[in-house]
Amino acid sequence: METRRTLLVDAFADEPLAGNVAGVVPNAAGLSDDQMQRIAAELGASETAFLLGSDEADERLRYFTPATEVDLCGHATIAAYGALFEEGAIDAGDRTLRTNVGDLDVTVDDDGTVWMGQNPPSVERIEADELDADRLGDALGIDPAALRDVGADLPVAVATTGLPWLVVPVNFLERLGEADPDSAAIEAVCAAHDAVGIYAYTFDALDPESTLHGRAFAPAVGVQEDPVTGTASGAVGAYLQEVGAFDGDFPDELRFEQGHFINRPGHVRVRVAGDEVRVGGDAVTSLDGDLRVPAADRDDDIIEA
């Protein structure tokens, strides 16, 4: 039985056991889809990145949750490149990454910060007659008044730079912290608007250096609450630019904090300039080992329900 080196890497964190943990398989060549899915389920991280060779780009990554393959995952990308740089497998500089949503640019700074380019953004506002505060409040377990207070100036919208997220503003951190999400209701709302999950945010952040505090819920892909979410952060950065969230010039760099309510604090750096969106962060390897992997054609006698 073969073994594959597998890592657990904490992305958007500068110390282990913080931020958002991702599985990373540095050499996934030859693994079947079923093997990759089962490895992701065994590791149990919200996403696992599988590194493959590519003739068209420097690297190819595929991403699996414990339940299904997803087209893109920001924190697993940061984790994968952070781990490769940490062990000297790649140097600082620019690289091209092939994903299921196309080719993306990745830059690794000399200090190990990984920057991930995003697809050109799209932001579609959702009117109240399509999705009102009562339905959103019930889905999130947040008093609808906390959504109405900011709804006049900051709309609910579906924003994407690769994966579509339903972006929901909340008035105060205390209200966001009280969220008690109804997974079935969130799935229904997201399905109605072709979104992978809900990213609820408030400008009432814990750290004065942070732009906002966010929480992300994506039960449809097996993630009840994501600690720190790269793809959502890129989408929200584009959203903030589109809705004119700041007086005067748009900031050169945004800092999003997330994960504190589930004891996985982390921070995402976001840069937005027109259609160019980049998401950046640090990564720390917390576990490095070998996983025994059954053959791809093994008859495992699993009975399908």
Tell me which of 178 and 67 has the higher pLDDT. Answer: 178
pLDDT band at 149 (very low <50, low <70, confident <90, very high): confident
Which pLDDT belongs to residue 129? Answer: 87
Annotate 269-289 with three-state secondary structure. Answer: EEEEECCEEEEEECEEEEEEE
The mean pLDDT of 288-293, rounded to a whole number, is: 96
What SS3 class is residue 236? helix
Q: How many CB atoms within 10 Å of residue 134? A: 12
Runs of H (alpha helix) within the chain: 33-43, 74-86, 133-140, 145-151, 173-177, 183-192, 230-242
Residue 158: pLDDT above 80?
yes
Which pLDDT belongs to residue 72? Answer: 86
User: What's the mean pLDDT when you consider all of the chain?
Assistant: 94
Q: How many CB atoms within 10 Å of residue 138? A: 15
What SS3 class is residue 190? helix
Question: How do strand 212-218 and strand 164-169 relate by DSSP bridges?
Answer: unpaired
Which pLDDT belongs to residue 300? Answer: 55
Q: How many CB atoms within 10 Å of residue 88? A: 7
Which pLDDT belongs to residue 134? Answer: 96
Within this chain, domains 2-118+284-293 and 122-274 share the same CATH topology: yes
CA distances from 209 to 73, 159, 204 (A): 25, 24, 11
Please report where in the chains the tokens 């329900």 appear, as a residue: 305
Residue 304: pLDDT above 80?
no
Amino acid at 21: V
- Distant-in-sequence, close-in-space partners of 181: CB < 8 Å, separation ≥ 6: 139, 140, 141, 198, 217, 219, 224, 225
Q: Which residues are catalytic?
A: 47
Which pLDDT belongs to residue 223? Answer: 84
Q: Measure the CA–CA gap between 258 and 147, rounded to whole angstroms.
A: 19
Residue 157: pLDDT above 60?
yes
The mean pLDDT of 49-60, rounded to a whole number, is: 96
Return the domain boundaries, the chain.
Answer: 2-118+284-293, 122-274
- Decide yes or no: CATH 3.30.450.20 for domain 122-274: no
Residues forming beta bridges with residue 200, ordered by sequence position: 168, 215
Tell me how far the alpha carbon of residue 1 is from its chain's centroid.
33
pLDDT digits 0-9 by tens, 77-89: 999 999 999 999 9
pTM: 0.88
CATH of domain 2-118+284-293: 3.10.310.10
Q: What percent of the chain has pLDDT over 70?
A: 97
Residue 301: pLDDT above 60?
no
Which pLDDT belongs to residue 221? Answer: 81
Which pLDDT belongs to residue 279? Answer: 96
Residue 162: pLDDT above 90?
no
Which pLDDT belongs to residue 67? Answer: 86
Which pLDDT belongs to residue 196? Answer: 94
Which pLDDT belongs to residue 305? Answer: 47
| DSSP letter, residue 111 | T
Which pLDDT belongs to residue 225? Answer: 93
Q: How many CB atoms within 10 Å of residue 300? A: 7
pLDDT digits 0-9 by tens, 216-242: 999 998 789 999 999 899 999 999 999
Which pLDDT belongs to residue 240? Answer: 98
